[in-house]
């Protein structure tokens, strides 16, 4: 029997036994008097970072606790709002605005990224046990990652959140590298609460309504408790055209008066347009002419444009107002998709989580969880654009082809062939998109619907072995996630080409241009819908993830006593099964391929503008065993000078992966020293082990991303085409990257070190009495990761090819076509060996990176209670990131040395390696400060400020002074006021809260991104006002 079968059987048997035992006990207790019934089970206090309850070392763990008051100042209803509030959080990579391609995890999704080490570096727990990975995956640094969707967490039932800010591999699993995010729910609620909230943005159409119901009841004289928390929310999203920052992809209007004024790097409009850029396969690399006028380059490139533009070389086309110009499109023809793009999707979300607790007569406590999550998002994206790998081949016989045949097959004269053509045979020439530069604007926007579901079932029991002092706890868990991503108005290449081969005017016209009045937006000459529908398809991605788990743990907080106090010990075993399945659309996974009827070439993708992706699936089984000891070395009773207490935590864990073998024993050692009351010194050392995720191991993909051919740019500088390397244009286009896994790929090893102090004066009198409510924490942390799985990167491969070609060789992983005559002339004029277009780049997932991340956490907490005007709580949490270094691989070192020596341009940077602090994120400072006030009268209030420091946007390049573009620091401030009503009648138990997020309506700082800001770190929602009413019955 496989582990998967064992786990599923165990979960089923556990749930059955729990139900039968509870039923039997319910029957028995009806015969007992209330006096005979034992009290309800004692609450088991979950402390993130240890399995030993009551141990003194627990008080020294670097745990950040998010309370209900903190959640109030955060002002959100999502898991994403919660994680963004954590100063230790890096960029949010899985998020709702990341909806441009179905290769991203779209929909209601958000990922935690503690210490900025990636979305898969933090272990997420729910009530102390694992949560299934989100079924959809995406790439970070070109490597696919898996993560937990924190938006699926039942926010309505949260009691508190505990974030362990150091490695916990020995405690929870060897993959807990950056720390642990543990959401602890209210599992024994009694009562009935209803809460309604309405939020709206003051400057745009974003709004959200939320209804929450919590109900719980004790039964059987307090032996049994059942509770349920249900939440439904509905959101109307945000379009880019509703906010000035994102209303156009050309961001140069925000640079006036700066050193980057006019910098075309900030013009993010697309070269894929309804005008199209096309190429003819002419013989002998000769230009096509009309009555002596040049219509194409020697490689056959031309484009359509309004006849009001300069450079027209042929008009008299089938669409009035259009002409043909040779070469690449003018910048003013670039397409601006902002006016039709969703930034934040419309969303409906339902989340329900139920608990069952029951005490048996023998002291055993049964518990169960059942959770259901459903979310549906709807967003709009711009019409489908092309990529190099999925171009259009237009047959010579196509009716609207201006270089078509003199006569059609039925003998009729072709009215659309341009007269007076040279180098075009009588049978005409086929036309091809140049690097995929065509967009089907009149097809319409793409509506994207994503459905995410998840359910979780857990059954467990805990108790004590007689009077031995040993507690035991065991549970079986099954957690399953499913995501379905559907994008309509996509284009089938097969169906499109079938239409283009039909003769006659009743066919889709590719060559009718866009909108002459506003060339970057819309289409003034759309095709009839009946000519569009035949080649439209829906593209569907279906993803599933599974987690099954059984564990058994024992603990004793007082095994035996040393002079320093009782030794606590915990141990346990865990078996888990993890699986995923990616079912890609049949037109992407190779089931329905595209055979080009013009060239005969076969492609694995039939979807225009989308790289092929095969179906993939994988699973693994993991068995783990751990032990933990809490050892009090010194106690106050020992009267040792400057050692009030000294405690040590020792832990070790071993895990065995079915696909990568054993992790080795991974230890954790933590110590806490109290030299005197009020000061505590603490530190920890731990090691971790992370196997490559299942996607990396099982999926090989092709991807197309915009990359610049730096060798061609160098030639342009040398032959005088460009004044400098920074001025290079026309050589950036979609490059196919073929990624596969190395045969010898292995796991990553990690080391995590933290050390710091806690200053917490208590019991002071006199003038210093005001310090009694103060707590100050400072912790230095270091994470060293070795053999991290990643890729060398397409940009690095191209840069290395640039260097090697200058030295007389080339990079074999950059595969190029033979140069055409234009390219031969271009490179010869520069004195360089000619090179053709980049066909594709080979890249391999391998253990090719060592990473060092270091920083300091600060915390200041101050409570002032029982003042004449109420109780106050002040908190400041700050995280300083001072080191983020990815060790240079041999190839990257070659590139860096060549830049330093001046052999290649200093515009070249080593991508994804070296010192990346402040590079496209990784800000040095993130700070959260809050103040809450409560008064016996029922009034209360809170205010919170979140600060993110500046960082560099490398995509913007350098200004004329050689300085990078700085994404400014940003602060968002939230505030609320509330009143708890204590009165007789229907208003009793009601709380009314009014608040606003981003009360000063701060725009996010400008960044060279599609929507004008970096959504991983900043928000574009603007000021949001909300009304929140809760009634307790």
Q: pLDDT digit string (tens) for 641-688?
A: 999 999 999 999 999 999 888 888 999 999 999 999 999 999 999 999
- Contact call for residues 667 and 169 (beta carbons, < 8 A): no
What is the arithmetic mean of pLDDT over 775-794?
94
Query: pLDDT band at 34, cuts 50/70/90?
Result: very low
pLDDT score of 6 more than 60: no
Q: Which residue has the tokens 């225009």?
A: 608
Instruction: Work out the angle at residue 298's Cα, subtended by the Cα atoms of residues 597 and 830, and round it to the nearest 5 degrees.
Output: 125
Residue 811 CA: distances (Å) to CA of 806, 828, 916: 11, 20, 25
pLDDT score of 50 more than 90: no
Beta bridge partner(s), residue 213: 194, 230
- Contact call for residues 207 and 236 (beta carbons, < 8 A): yes
What is the arithmetic mean of pLDDT over 331-354?
94
pLDDT of residue 47: 55
Give the H/E segment covering residue 82.
helix 79-84
Could you give the CA distance from residue 914 to residue 888 in angstroms, rounded to a whole number? 6
pLDDT of residue 40: 35
Residue 62's contacts (CB-CB under 8 Å, 6 or more residues apart) are 164, 165, 166, 682, 684, 754, 756, 777, 779, 857
Whether residue 411 lies inside any domain: the answer is: yes
Residue 351 three-state SS:
strand
Q: Which residue has the tokens 């009729």?
A: 412
Instruction: Work out the angle at residue 608's Cα, subtended by the Cα atoms of residues 139 and 841, and round it to the nearest 5 degrees.
Output: 50
pLDDT score of 7 more than 70: no
Residue 394: closest CA among 303, 500, 302? 500
Residue 705: closest CA among 1016, 1012, 1011, 389? 389
What is the arithmetic mean of pLDDT over 1002-1008?
97
Query: pLDDT band at 140, cuts 50/70/90?
Result: confident
Residue 14 CA: distances (Å) to CA of 7, 225, 372, 397, 942: 10, 19, 19, 69, 45
Query: pLDDT band at 285, cuts 50/70/90?
Result: low
DSSP 315: -
Q: How many domains does the chain have?
A: 1
Could you give the CA distance from residue 635 to residue 632 in angstroms, rounded to a whole number? 7
DSSP 528: P
What is the arithmetic mean of pLDDT over 90-105?
86
Positions of E strands within 949-988: 951-958, 964-967, 970-980
DSSP 314: B
Could you give the CA distance from residue 142 to residue 109 in angstroms, rounded to a whole number? 19
The model's pLDDT over 1015-1026, given as tens digits with 9 standing for 90+, comes to 999 999 999 999
Whether residue 272 lies inside any domain: the answer is: yes
Whether residue 317 lies inside any domain: the answer is: yes
Q: Which residue has the tokens 């942390």?
A: 781
Residue 718 three-state SS:
helix
At 53, list the tokens: 């309850």
At 248, list the tokens: 């156009």
pLDDT of residue 11: 44
pLDDT of residue 1020: 96
Residue 458: closest CA among 51, 126, 876? 126
Residue 171 CA: distances (Å) to CA of 43, 53, 177, 632: 21, 14, 11, 19
Mean pLDDT, the chain, integer? 91
pLDDT of residue 727: 84
How many residues are given for the chain? 1033
pLDDT score of 856 more than 70: yes
Query: pLDDT band at 17, cuts 50/70/90?
Result: very low
* Region of residue 47 (left: phi > 0; alpha: psi -120 to 50; beta: else): beta
State which residues form the domain around 388: 265-342+383-447+488-540
pLDDT score of 41 more than 70: no
Beta bridge partner(s), residue 536: 491
Could you give the CA distance from residue 818 to residue 185 in angstroms, rounded to a whole number? 63
- Contact call for residues 304 and 469 (beta carbons, < 8 A): no
The model's pLDDT over 472-520, given as tens digits with 9 standing for 90+, comes to 999 999 999 999 999 999 999 999 999 999 999 999 999 999 999 999 9
Give the H/E segment covering residue 194.
strand 191-201
pLDDT of residue 430: 96
pLDDT score of 10 more than 60: no
Could you give the CA distance from residue 549 to residue 621 in angstroms, rounded to a whole number? 10
Whether residue 67 lies inside any domain: the answer is: no
- Of the chain, the percentage scoring pLDDT greater than 70 comes to 95
What is the arithmetic mean of pLDDT over 38-42?
36
Residue 636: closest CA among 677, 671, 670? 677
Q: Which residue has the tokens 């030295």?
A: 807
pLDDT score of 992 more than 50: yes
Could you give the CA distance from residue 302 to residue 792 in angstroms, rounded to a whole number? 35
Whether residue 904 lies inside any domain: the answer is: no
437 HSE (CA, 13 A, CB side): 27
Q: Write down the pTM of the prediction.
A: 0.90
φ, ψ dihedrals at 473, nearest 5°: -150, 130
- Contact call for residues 1001 and 202 (beta carbons, < 8 A): yes
Residue 992 three-state SS:
strand
Whether residue 329 lies inside any domain: the answer is: yes
Dihedral of CA atoms 376, 379, 383, 389 in degrees, nearest 10, equals -60
Burial of 670 (C-beta count, 10 Å sphere; 0-12/13-18/19+): buried
pLDDT of residue 585: 96
The model's pLDDT over 702-717, given as tens digits with 9 standing for 90+, comes to 777 778 999 999 999 9
Could you give the CA distance from residue 772 to residue 760 in angstroms, rounded to a whole number? 8
Could you give the CA distance from residue 108 to residue 1020 in angstroms, rounded to a whole number? 17
Whether residue 418 lies inside any domain: the answer is: yes
Give the H/E segment covering residue 280.
strand 277-280
Residue 644: closest CA among 614, 697, 618, 680? 680
DSSP 898: H
What is the arithmetic mean of pLDDT over 445-454?
96
646 HSE (CA, 13 A, CB side): 11
Could you give the CA distance from residue 160 to residue 236 in angstroms, rounded to a whole number? 28
Query: pLDDT band at 283, cuts 50/70/90?
Result: low
The model's pLDDT over 865-908, given as tens digits with 9 standing for 90+, comes to 989 999 999 999 999 999 999 998 889 899 999 999 999 998 89
pLDDT of residue 850: 93
φ, ψ dihedrals at 586, nearest 5°: -60, -20
What is the arithmetic mean of pLDDT over 70-97?
92
φ, ψ dihedrals at 140, nearest 5°: -125, 130
Burial of 343 (C-beta count, 10 Å sphere; 0-12/13-18/19+): buried
- Contact call for residues 369 and 479 (beta carbons, < 8 A): no
Instruction: Work out the angle at residue 224's Cα, subtended by the Cα atoms of residues 222 and 225, and round it to the nearest 5 degrees.
Output: 100
Could you give the CA distance from residue 376 to residue 452 in angstroms, rounded to a whole number? 6
Instruction: Work out the angle at residue 839's Cα, subtended by the Cα atoms of residues 836 and 845, and round it to the nearest 5 degrees.
Output: 130
Residue 792 three-state SS:
coil
pLDDT score of 29 more than 70: no
pLDDT of residue 282: 65
Instruction: Work out the angle at residue 11's Cα, subtended by the Cα atoms of residues 10 and 13, and round it to the nearest 5 degrees.
Output: 65
Residue 300 CA: distances (Å) to CA of 31, 89, 309, 712, 823: 93, 51, 20, 19, 12
Whether residue 725 lies inside any domain: the answer is: no
At 96, list the tokens: 């709702």
- Contact call for residues 796 and 894 (beta carbons, < 8 A): no
The rounded radius of gyration (Å) of the Cα atoms in the chain is: 32
pLDDT score of 638 more than 50: yes
At 430, list the tokens: 């086929």
- Contact call for residues 392 and 511 (beta carbons, < 8 A): no
Could you give the CA distance from residue 386 to residue 607 in angstroms, rounded to a whole number? 10
- Contact call for residues 723 and 960 (beta carbons, < 8 A): no
Instruction: Work out the angle at residue 337's Cα, subtended by the Cα atoms of residues 334 and 342, and round it to the nearest 5 degrees.
Output: 165
pLDDT score of 853 more than 80: yes
At 4, list the tokens: 């998967």
The model's pLDDT over 546-579, given as tens digits with 9 standing for 90+, comes to 999 999 999 999 999 999 999 999 999 999 999 9
Count the helix, strand and coil residues of the chain and give each as a percent rounded to the nearest 5.
15, 45, 40
pLDDT of residue 59: 67
């Amino acid at each position: 029997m496989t582990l998967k079968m064992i786990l599923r059987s165990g979960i089923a048997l556990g749930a059955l036994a729990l139900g039968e035992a509870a039923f039997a006990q319910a029957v028995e207790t009806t015969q007992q008097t209330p006096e005979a019934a034992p009290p309800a089970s004692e609450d088991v206090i979950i402390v993130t970072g240890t399995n030993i309850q009551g141990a003194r070392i627990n008080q020294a763990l670097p745990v950040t606790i998010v309370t209900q008051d903190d959640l109030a100042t955060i002002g959100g209803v999502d898991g994403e709002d919660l994680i963004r509030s954590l100063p230790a959080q890096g960029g949010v990579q899985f998020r709702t605005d990341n909806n441009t391609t179905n290769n991203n995890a779209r929909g209601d999704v958000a990922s935690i990224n503690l210490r900025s080490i990636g979305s898969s570096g933090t272990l997420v727990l729910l009530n102390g046990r694992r949560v299934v990975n989100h079924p959809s995956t995406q790439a970070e640094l070109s490597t696919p990652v898996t993560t937990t969707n924190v938006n699926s967490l039942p926010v309505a039932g949260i009691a508190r959140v505990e974030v362990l800010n150091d490695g916990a591999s020995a405690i929870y699993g060897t993959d807990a590298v950056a720390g642990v995010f543990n959401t602890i729910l209210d599992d024994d609620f009694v009562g009935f609460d209803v809460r309604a909230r309405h939020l709206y943005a003051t400057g745009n159409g974003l709004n959200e309504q939320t209804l929450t119901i919590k109900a719980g009841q004790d039964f059987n004289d307090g032996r049994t408790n059942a509770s349920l928390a249900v939440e439904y929310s509905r959101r109307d999203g945000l379009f880019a055209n509703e906010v000035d920052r994102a209303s156009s992809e050309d961001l140069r209007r925000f640079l006036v008066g700066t050193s980057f004024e006019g910098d075309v790097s900030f013009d993010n409009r697309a070269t894929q347009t309804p005008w199209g850029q096309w190429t003819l396969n002419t013989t002998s690399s000769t230009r096509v002419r009309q009555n002596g006028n040049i219509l194409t380059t020697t490689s056959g490139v031309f484009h359509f444009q309004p006849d009001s533009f300069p450079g027209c070389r042929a008009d008299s086309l089938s669409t009035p107002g259009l002409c043909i110009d040779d070469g690449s499109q003018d910048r003013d023809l670039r397409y601006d998709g902002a006016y039709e793009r969703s930034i934040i999707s419309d969303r409906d979300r339902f989340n329900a989580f139920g608990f069952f607790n029951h005490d048996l007569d023998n002291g055993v406590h049964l518990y169960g969880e059942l959770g259901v999550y459903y979310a549906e998002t709807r967003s709009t994206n711009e019409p489908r654009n092309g990529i190099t790998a999925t171009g259009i081949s237009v047959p010579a016989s196509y009716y609207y082809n201006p270089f078509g045949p003199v006569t059609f097959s039925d003998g009729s004269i072709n009215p659309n062939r341009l007269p007076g053509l040279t180098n075009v045979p009588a049978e005409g020439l086929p036309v091809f998109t140049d690097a995929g530069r065509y967009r089907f604007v009149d097809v319409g926007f793409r509506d994207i619907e994503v459905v995410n579901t998840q359910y979780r079932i857990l059954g467990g029991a805990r108790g004590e072995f007689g009077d031995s002092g040993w507690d035991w706890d065991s549970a079986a868990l099954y957690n399953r996630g499913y995501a379905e991503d559907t994008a309509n108005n996509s284009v089938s290449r097969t169906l499109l080409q079938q239409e283009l081969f039909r003769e006659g005017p009743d066919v889709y016209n590719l060559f009718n241009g866009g909108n002459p009045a506003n060339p970057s937006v819309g289409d003034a000459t759309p095709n009839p819908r009946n000519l569009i529908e035949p080649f439209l398809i829906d593209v569907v991605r279906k993803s599933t993830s599974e987690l099954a788990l059984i564990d058994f743990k024992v603990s004793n907080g007082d095994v035996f006593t040393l002079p320093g106090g009782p030794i606590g010990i915990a141990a346990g075993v865990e078996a888990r099964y993890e699986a995923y399945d990616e079912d890609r659309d049949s037109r992407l996974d190779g089931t329905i391929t595209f055979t080009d009827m013009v060239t005969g070439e076969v492609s694995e993708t039939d979807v225009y503008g989308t790289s092929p992706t095969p179906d993939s699936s994988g699973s693994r089984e993991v068995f783990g065993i751990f032990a933990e000891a809490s050892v009090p070395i010194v106690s106050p009773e020992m009267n040792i000078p400057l050692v009030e207490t000294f405690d040590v935590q020792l832990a070790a864990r071993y895990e065995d992966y079915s696909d990568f073998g054993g992790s080795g024993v991974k230890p954790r050692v933590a110590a806490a020293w109290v030299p005197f009351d009020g000061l505590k010194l603490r530190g920890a050392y731990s090691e971790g082990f992370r196997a490559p995720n299942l996607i990396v191991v099982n999926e090989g993909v092709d991807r197309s991303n915009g990359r610049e051919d730096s060798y061609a740019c160098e030639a342009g500088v040398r032959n005088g085409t460009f004044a400098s390397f920074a001025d290079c244009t026309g050589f950036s286009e979609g490059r196919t990257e073929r990624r596969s896994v190395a045969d010898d790929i292995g796991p990553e090893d990690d080391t995590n070190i933290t050390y710091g102090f806690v200053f917490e004066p208590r019991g002071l009198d006199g003038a210093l009495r005001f310090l009694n409510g103060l707590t100050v924490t400072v912790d230095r942390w270091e994470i060293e990761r070795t053999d991290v799985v990643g890729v060398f990167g397409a940009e690095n491969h191209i840069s290395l090819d640039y260097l090697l070609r200058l030295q007389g060789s080339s990079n074999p992983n950059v595969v190029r076509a033979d140069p055409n005559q234009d390219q031969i002339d271009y490179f010869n004029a520069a004195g360089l060996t000619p090179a053709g277009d980049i066909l594709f780049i080979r890249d391999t997932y391998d253990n090719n990176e060592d990473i060092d991340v270091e920083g300091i956490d600060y915390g200041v907490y101050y409570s002032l209670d029982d003042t004449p005007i109420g109780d106050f709580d002040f908190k400041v949490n700050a995280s300083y990131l001072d080191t983020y270094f990815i060790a240079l691989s041999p190839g990257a070192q070659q590139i860096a040395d060549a830049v330093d020596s001046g052999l290649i341009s200093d515009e070249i940077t080593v991508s994804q390696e070296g010192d990346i602090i402040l590079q496209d994120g990784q800000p040095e400072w993130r700070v959260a400060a809050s103040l809450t006030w409560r008064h016996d009268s029922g009034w209360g209030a809170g205010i919170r400020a979140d600060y993110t420091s500046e960082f560099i946007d490398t995509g913007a390049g350098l200004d004329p002074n050689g300085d990078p573009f700085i994404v400014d620091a940003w602060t968002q401030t939230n505030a609320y006021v509330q009143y708890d009503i204590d009165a007789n009648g229907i208003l009793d138990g009601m709380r009314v809260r009014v608040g606003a997020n981003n009360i000063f309506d701060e725009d996010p700082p400008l960044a060279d991104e599609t929507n004008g800001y970096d959504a991983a770190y900043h928000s574009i929602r603007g000021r949001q006002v909300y009304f929140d009413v809760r009634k307790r019955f």
